[in-house]
Structure formats: structure tokens, C-alpha cells
């Protein structure tokens, strides 16, 4: 699989990343190189094989629905880069 | 015996017998860190005052006879384990100012057992790397030779133990990040079974692969730490509801013939991996002979899908990473770029300035593999291959107690040697990735040295929740080869 610089731009947008123009060519080459290697998965016969998402026990984990004290905004928002009292501040969303 | 040489086992004995104080021990280690860590670069954060405060409290507890398993023992933590009130960076600029408001479960458990947290160790950013060169903060050098990498991603933890800056450390392992640096630094590293240890408060990279585990000076210490950190936790729904045995029982009444009756499998596919360094091959063959002499039966086995492990892993891990790392968007914590046009632009500028190149590369691979039209071909197929890899392991463990292999194809490489070639770096993970894919435990134990004096370890992997087999075999091996008391001169 060969990845073009346009595709890098497109995927980067989906990932909410901004790749510097000067780095796009290098990123496209490295990705192509990695994906070419990954293409070897095509040689595995996976007909009828189920998907595995890991080695966790696939049981449902339940707990009692009990009221507990929340840590509160001072703790929850302690690391907020920008806040206005109990609110996070983000750039304007509604124009 | 010097303070810095103490294992957890040694330190406990001296502390609990009141022969030394935790204040003396902690001060001596802090002094050693001050003297040598500019060159080694094992730590991102050392909070001297906090460590000494904990040591004083431990000394008080000991004099009050209020003694727990680790009272007064200095332990280092990889810097992606959340520590309440202590900066936790994950080796990334994006978390440069992040101060967790709670302790991860393993950290709480260490504290409940009286441990002194001596510092937070350097790592590849968000645990993505095999050399600790991807840290946004510093290069960590191999204590055995400063021109070489310590391995990664828990390179700071492994270097801190090898440099004798702490009695032991915790690392995390998503694809070998405990075992490989332990091998490169000549210390013991144990990745527990997936689900054995709670991941609550571990900053996630690949949630189906990540496990926290001990990096120690000897196998006994790994069992001591595993006893403390294991167990079901209601804060992590993937932590297993299985009993935790006393792992130190693995060493009870240990005799010369204690390993008799065990069978070690050697996968034939591992022996034909390209580029195994002859010195690694030599150490591995010697290790095989030592185990045979201890009565372990050696058997050829097959893990038929070995050739696909790296490819499947480097889809699954980046897919999980691209999802997990989406949270670092400049809103709730960490770095934020304020010079932006709108919300999307803020996300983009924050992440692009905050994440380093390898993290961005893996996010892009993951996003691509999960995007519409490619999901089945990449993530879907890799997850099917993962099923086949898990079946390979289940089948193998029907005929052997543990699988024996090298940890890495070569000893530590030179700093800078592979930094521009991500695929070559990924391929060096061949022997360690499978344990994470299959969820089985693995241990790395020192087994020899290259001609340049760099340590080389061997790996043993056992079936799920059978860490006991690894500890027994590892202990028998360690007692015979006796490399556990060897440390580099700084």
C-alpha cells in the first residue's frame, strides 16, 4: 500500500493532527513502508476465524448502583488549561 | 554491603531488624541519583523532600511495630503511573504540567505497604518505543555503557534499577516494554498475565495489551512486588477475578532438583528469525544447557503464526492508541495551544505541538487502519490473526510449562542508530510482542554479556496466570548463573 501526501493530509485531519508541509513526504514514505510490511497479513488464511479483542475475561462486570460523593469541580478541573470557575473554556463552537 | 546494592529482600531485613533506617537508605539513594543521574538520565522527576518525608514516616511506623511488606523501601515508578500530587508526564510535552488528583491502584498499593516513592522514571513518549529515545525530556543511557540505549519503553525504570538508584521499580509492558529494557540493562523484568494487575491510573496506550509489572535486581524481588500489585480491582473491569497466590512460595524449599519435571518449549519459528545476533544465540544456548542441567526437559514446539505477530501488533496497538490518545485535546488537562482559529484548529495545534513524531506516526497508522473502507482489511484481519496467535500459545502450553526464547534479537544498540527507521525498530520486538497479544505472562532474566559487556537476558513465557512457573524457573536459573549481584560501575 502506497500512501500519498494527500492521504497523509486527509488522515491527519481525521486524527485532528496537523502535519507540517515539510514533513508530509517523509511521513508518507514511512507509512507506506510500514503498511507494505503489514500487507503480509493478507497471506494468512483467516476464513471463519473469529476476531479477538484481547485476553480479558469476557464477562459482564456489574456493581451496585450506590450513591457516592463526587470529587467535585476543584479536583476534576484542577488540570484544566483554561477554566472559568466550574467550567472548561473552549474556543467558540456556535457561530 | 552498600545501601545502593540492597534488594527489596535485603532492605526489608535490615530495616525491620532496625539495623538501618529508611531515612539513611533513601538519603543514600538520593545522593547517588544526584551524583550520577545527569549522565544516566533515568528520572524525569525526583521529589527529594517528599521521598524523605515518606522515609521518616516509615521509620516511625517501624519503631511503632506497624510494619507492612515494603515499609521504608524506595521504589521508582515509570512516569505513566498516576501519582497524586506528583507530576506525571508519560514522557510527553503534552502532559508537562499534569498533576494527577489521584493515585493509580498500584501506587496506592505500594503506599499502603509502606513503600517510599523515590521518583518517576523516563520512558518513550506514551510508552511508544523500544529505546527510550522517544522521550520528550531526555535521553536515558545504558548504565553498562553510556553510548548505548537502555531499551524501552520502560528504559528509565530499568536503568534506575541497574544503576542502583532504587531497590526496585515498576514499569509497564505493552509489547515488551518491561522485558526488553530489563534484558538490555541486566536486571529482572516481569510482565504479568493480562488482568493480573489493575490498570487503573496507568495512562493507557493499548488497553488490551498494557500490563504493569516489576523491574528488580533479582527474581525474588519480582515475586515480592507481584504479591503486592496483583488482584482484582473494581476500578478496572478487565482486572481478573482470580485468586492471587503468594508468589514467594515459588522459592520455598527450593532444592537443586526443584525444576526437575518441568518442560521448556523452544519455538522452531523463533530460531529462524532473521538477524539474531550470534552473541544472543550463544547466550541463549548456554541458558538452555543450564536449564537442562537443572533437570528441565527441552522440547521443540511450534508457534505457526510467529511471522505475522509484528504486523498484527503494529495494527492493533496503533488502533488502540489512536483512540486512547484522542483525550489529549487541550480541554481537560495538559498542554493547550491557544493561538487558534476555532475548536478543530485548537485540537490540531495542541496535539501536533504536544505529541512527538513517533506518537503522531502511530496515531496516523491507527486512524488510517480504523477509517471507513480499511477497517476490515486492517483492524479486522489483525484481530483474526490475534485469535490464531492466542491459539498457537494455548496449543503450545499443552505440551510445555514455559516457552524459552531470547528477549531481543540483539543486545542494546547505539543511541541514534535506529531512530529514523521505525520499521527496523518495530522488528526488534519480535520475541516479546506475542505475550501481550496472547495475554500470557513473561519474564526476562539476566543470562550473559556481549563481547562489548552489554547484558543479554533470556525470556520465559508461561500460560495465563502461571507466573509461578516463571518465578520458579527464573529463580533456579538465576541461582545457577549468579548474575543477580552484578552491576555496572558508574
Beta strands in B88-143 (DSSP E): 116-121
DSSP string for residues in B16-73: HTTSS-HHHHHHHHHHHHHHHHHHH--EEE--HHHHHHHHHHHHHHHHTT---TTTT-
pLDDT over threshold 80, residue A58: no
Answer yes or no: are the C-beta atoms of B474 and B251 closer than 8 Å. Answer: no
Which of A20, A55, A92 lies at the smallest CB-CB distance from B464?
Answer: A55
| pLDDT average, residue stretch B365-388 | 95
Q: How confident is the model at residue B206 (pLDDT cuts 50, 70, 90)?
A: very high
Number of domains in chain A: 1
**pLDDT (mean) for B151-156:** 98
Provide the CATH number for the domain formed by B1-490 in this structure: 3.90.1300.10
Nearest to A49 among B207, B387, B464 (CB): B387
Residue from the list B234, B305, B371 with its beta carbon closest to the beta carbon of A11 = B371
Residue holding cell 550463544?
B282
Assess whether B78 carries a catalytic annotation.
yes
Grid coordinates standing for B102? Answer: 489521584
Max Cα–Cα distance, chain A, nearest Å: 57
- What's the average model confidence in pLDDT over A20-39? 94
Of the residues B78, B111, B191, B351, only one is catalytic, namely B78
Q: DSSP 3-state helix, strand, coil percentages of chain A (rounded to 5)?
A: 40, 5, 55
| pLDDT at B321 (0 to 100) | 98
What number of H helices and E strands is found in chain B? 16, 11
Residue-level pLDDT at A57: 78
Cell numbers that stand for A8 in this block: 497523509
Distance from CA of A93 to the nearest CA of B (A): 7
Reported as a single tens digit per residue, the pLDDT across B1-58 is: 899 999 999 999 999 999 999 999 999 999 999 999 999 999 999 999 999 999 999 9
What are the C-alpha distances in Å from B102 to residues B1, B364, B426? 37, 31, 34
Which 8-state DSSP code applies to residue B412? P
Show residues of chain A in contact with B390, CB under 8 Å: 52, 55
> Which pLDDT belongs to residue A23?
92
The whole domain housing A37 covers 5-43
Task: Classify strands B402-406 and B455-462 as parallel, antiparallel or unpaired.
Answer: antiparallel
Q: How far apart are CA B230 and CA B160, in angstroms?
A: 23
Whole-angstrom distance, CA of residue B357 vs CA of residue B26: 37
Contacts from B328-333 at CB under 8 Å and sequence distance 24+?
A: B328/B94, B328/B95, B328/B354, B328/B355, B329/A16, B330/A81, B330/B354, B331/A80, B331/A81, B331/A88, B331/A90, B332/A79, B332/A80, B332/A88, B333/A79, B333/A80, B333/A81, B333/B95, B333/B98
Please count the other Cβ atoms lying within 10 Å of the Cβ belonging to residue B404: 24
- Residue A9 covered by a domain: yes
* Cα–Cα–Cα angle for B460, B180, B75, rounded to 5 degrees: 100
User: How far from each other are the two terminal CA atoms of chain B, in whole angstroms?
Assistant: 17
Nearest Cα neighbor of B157 from B193, B189, B192 is B189
Question: Quick one: cell of B81?
Answer: 503511573
The span from the first CA to the last CA of chain A, in angstroms, equals 40
Q: What is the model's pLDDT at position B142?
A: 98
For residue B171, what is its C-alpha cell? 514499569
C-alpha cell at B228: 503486592
Q: Is B452 marked active-site?
A: no
CA distance B88 to chain A (A): 12
pLDDT attached to residue B352: 97
**Which grid coordinates are listed for B24?**
539513611
**Look-up of cell digits 511488606:** B69
Q: Are B165 and B150 in contact (CB under 8 A)?
A: no
d(CA B265, CA B291): 12
Q: Which residues of A touch B310 (CB under 8 A)?
A: 37
Q: List the catalytic residue out of B177, B183, B258, B450.
A: B177
Using 50, 70 and 90 to split pLDDT, how confident is the model at B270? Answer: very high
Closest chain B residue to the Cα of A34, Cα to Cα: B423
Asked whether the predicted pLDDT for residue B123 surpasses 80, the reply is: yes
pLDDT of residue B91 exceeding 80, the answer is yes
Distance set, CA B471 to CA B218, B247, B289, B350, B467 (Å): 10, 8, 19, 44, 6
Q: What is the mean pLDDT of residues A1-11?
A: 92
C-alpha cell at B276: 539474531
Is the per-residue pLDDT at A1 higher than 80? no
φ/ψ of residue B471, rounded to 5: -65, -40
Q: CA B419 to CA B470: how far, in whole Å?
A: 33
pLDDT, tens digit, 9 for 90 and up, residues B472-488: 999 999 999 999 989 99
Residue B235's pLDDT band, with cuts at 50, 70 and 90, is: very high
The CA-atom distances, in angstroms, between B28 and each of B31, B35, B114, B181 are 5, 11, 18, 25
Confirm whether A33 is domain-assigned.
yes
d(CA B283, CA B281): 6
Average pLDDT, chain B: 97
Angstrom distance (rounded) from CA A12 to CA A8: 6
Residue A61 lies in a domain: no
* pLDDT for B274 beyond 90: no
Asked if B332 lies within 8 A of A88 by C-beta distance, the reply is yes
A37 grid coordinates: 510490511
Distance CA B426, CA B397 (A): 26
Residue B213 C-alpha cell reads as: 509489572
Q: What is the 3-state secondary structure (H, E, C) of B223-290?
A: HHHHHHHECCECCECCCCCCCCCCHHHHHCCCCCCCCCCCEEEEEHHHHCCCCCCHHHHHHHHHHHHH
**Residues of B in Cβ contact (< 8 Å) with A46:** 381, 384-385, 388
Segment A59-77, tens digit of pLDDT: 888 889 999 999 999 999 9
Question: Touching check for A1 and chain B: CB below 8 Å?
Answer: no
Mean pLDDT over the full length of chain A: 93
The question of whether B153 is a catalytic residue gets the answer: yes
Predicted confidence at residue A59, as pLDDT, reads: 80
In a domain, A21, yes or no: yes
**Strand ranges inside B282-346, DSSP E:** 297-301
Whether residue B86 is preceded by a cis peptide bond, meaning omega within 30 degrees of 0, is: no
How would you classify the pairing of strands B211-216 and B168-173? antiparallel
The pLDDT, as a whole number, for residue B35 is 98
CA distance B437 to chain A (A): 7
Amino acid at each position: 500500500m502506497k500512501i500519498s501526501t494527500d492521504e497523509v493530509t486527509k488522515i491527519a485531519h481525521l486524527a485532528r493532527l496537523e502535519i507540517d508541509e515539510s514533513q508530509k513526504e517523509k511521513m508518507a514514505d514511512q507509512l507506506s513502508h510500514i503498511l507494505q510490511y503489514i500487507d503480509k497479513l493478507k497471506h494468512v488464511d483467516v476464513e471463519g476465524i473469529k476476531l479477538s479483542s484481547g485476553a480479558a475475561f469476557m464477562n459482564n462486570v456489574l456493581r451496585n448502583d450506590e450513591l457516592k460523593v463526587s470529587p467535585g469541580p476543584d479536583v476534576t478541573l484542577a488540570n484544566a488549561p483554561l477554566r472559568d470557575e466550574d467550567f472548561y473554556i473552549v474556543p467558540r463552537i456556535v457561530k | 554491603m552498600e545501601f545502593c546494592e540492597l534488594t527489596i529482600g535485603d532492605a526489608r531485613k535490615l530495616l525491620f531488624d532496625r539495623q538501618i533506617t529508611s531515612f539513611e537508605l533513601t538519603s543514600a539513594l538520593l545522593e547517588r541519583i544526584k551524583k550520577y543521574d545527569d549522565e544516566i538520565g533515568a528520572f524525569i522527576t525526583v521529589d527529594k523532600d517528599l521521598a524523605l518525608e515518606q522515609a521518616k514516616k516509615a521509620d516511625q511506623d517501624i519503631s511503632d511495630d506497624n510494619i507492612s511488606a515494603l515499609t521504608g523501601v524506595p521504589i521508582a515508578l515509570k512516569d505513566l503511573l498516576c501519582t497524586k500530587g506528583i507530576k506525571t508526564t508519560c514522557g510527553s510535552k503534552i502532559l508537562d504540567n499534569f498533576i494527577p488528583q489521584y493515585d493509580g491502584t498500584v501506587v496506592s498499593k505500594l503506599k499502603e505497604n509502606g513503600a517510599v516513592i523515590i521518583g518517576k522514571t523516563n520512558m518513550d513518549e506514551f510508552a511508544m518505543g523500544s529505546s527510550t529515545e522517544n522521550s520528550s525530556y531526555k535521553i536515558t543511557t545504558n548504565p553498562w555503557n553510556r553510548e548505548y540505549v537502555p531499551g524501552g519503553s520502560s528504559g528509565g525504570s530499568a536503568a534506575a534499577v541497574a544503576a542502583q538508584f532504587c531497590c526496585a521499580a515498576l514499569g509497564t509492558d505493552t509489547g515488551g516494554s518491561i522485558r526488553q529494557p530489563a534484558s538490555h540493562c541486566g536486571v529482572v523484568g516481569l510482565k504479568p498475565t493480562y488482568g493480573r494487575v489493575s490498570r487503573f491510573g496507568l495512562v493507557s496506550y493499548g488497553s488490551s495489551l498494557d500490563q504493569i509489572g516489576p523491574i528488580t535486581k533479582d527474581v525474588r524481588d519480582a515475586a515480592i512486588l507481584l504479591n503486592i500489585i496483583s488482584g482484582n480491582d473494581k476500578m478496572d473491569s478487565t482486572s481478573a477475578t482470580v485468586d492471587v497466590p503468594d508468589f514467594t512460595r515459588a522459592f520455598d524449599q527450593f532444592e537443586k532438583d526443584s525444576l526437575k519435571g518441568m518442560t521448556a518449549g523452544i519455538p522452531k519459528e523463533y530460531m529462524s528469525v532473521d538477524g539474531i545476533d550470534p552473541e544472543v544465540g550463544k547466550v541463549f544456548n548456554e541458558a538452555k544447557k543450564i536449564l537442562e542441567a537443572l533437570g528441565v526437559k527441552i522440547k521443540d514446539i511450534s508457534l505457526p503464526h510467529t511471522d505475522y505477530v509484528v504486523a498484527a501488533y503494529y495494527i492493533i496497538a496503533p488502533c488502540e492508541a489512536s483512540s486512547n490518545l484522542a483525550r489529549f485535546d487541550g480541554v481537560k488537562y495538559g498542554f493547550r495551544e491557544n493561538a487558534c482559529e476555532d475548536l478543530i484548529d485548537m485540537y490540531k495545534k495542541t496535539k501536533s505541538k504536544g505529541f512527538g513524531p513517533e506518537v503522531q506516526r502511530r496515531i496516523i497508522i491507527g486512524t488510517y487502519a480504523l477509517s471507513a473502507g480499511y477497517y476490515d482489511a486492517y483492524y479486522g484481519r489483525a484481530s483474526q490473526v490475534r485469535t490464531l496467535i492466542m491459539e498457537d500459545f494455548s496449543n503450545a502450553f499443552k505440551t510445555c510449562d514455559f516457552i524459552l526464547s531470547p528477549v531481543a534479537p540483539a543486545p542494546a544498540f547505539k543511541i541514534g542508530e535506529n531512530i529514523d527507521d521505525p520499521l527496523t525498530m518495530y522488528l526488534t520486538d519480535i520475541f516479546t510482542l506475542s505475550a501481550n497479544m496472547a495475554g500470557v505472562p513473561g519474564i526476562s532474566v539476566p543470562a550473559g554479556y556481549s563481547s562489548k559487556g552489554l547484558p543479554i537476558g533470556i525470556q520465559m513465557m508461561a500460560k495465563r496466570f502461571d507466573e509461578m512457573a516463571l518465578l520458579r524457573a527464573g529463580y533456579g536459573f538465576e541461582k545457577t548463573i549468579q548474575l543477580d549481584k552484578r552491576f555496572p560501575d558508574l
